């Protein structure tokens, strides 16, 4: 499956952004989706994940209550709504896809990702 992320940009602290990731090439509803991020000098980390039907989600503690992951299977797209952005949210954000029927926690590990998007840069100024 090919993943194309978009929506990043430069914003001020407190602003909102919505990232989108469009999938193609395979049946989108067969894949569990995730958003990861990597800040300069840091390891890639999970931000949020969502199962194939959208019935289960996961959020990293650092974004709970501020970010929302959602998907529209009819449009082969997963979203990450980011509100109340902080400078520490600055990173390259990657969407990821994994097949299977495991618990949503399984899809929070980068080792279990089958496909990666190209990344979109989010910069939050203070």
Q: pLDDT tens, 30-86?
A: 999 999 999 999 999 999 999 999 999 999 999 999 999 999 999 999 999 999 999
Mean pLDDT value across the chain: 96
Classify residue 88 as left (phi > 0), alpha (psi -120 to 50) or beta: alpha
If we measure between CA atoms, which residue out of 47, 117, 49 comes closest to residue 86?
A: 47
């Amino acid at each position: 499956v090919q993943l194309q992320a978009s929506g990043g940009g430069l914003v001020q602290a407190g602003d909102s952004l919505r990232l989108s990731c469009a999938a193609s090439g395979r049946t989108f509803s067969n894949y569990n989706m995730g958003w990861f991020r990597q800040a300069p000098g840091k390891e890639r980390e999970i931000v949020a994940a969502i199962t194939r039907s959208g019935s289960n989600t996961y959020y990293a503690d650092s974004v709970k209550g501020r970010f929302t992951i959602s998907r529209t299977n009819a449009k082969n797209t997963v979203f990450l709504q980011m509100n109340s952005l902080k400078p520490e949210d600055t990173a390259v954000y990657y969407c990821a896809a994994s097949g299977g029927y495991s618990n949503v926690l399984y899809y929070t590990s980068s080792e279990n990702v089958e496909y990666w998007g190209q990344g979109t840069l989010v910069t939050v100024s203070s």
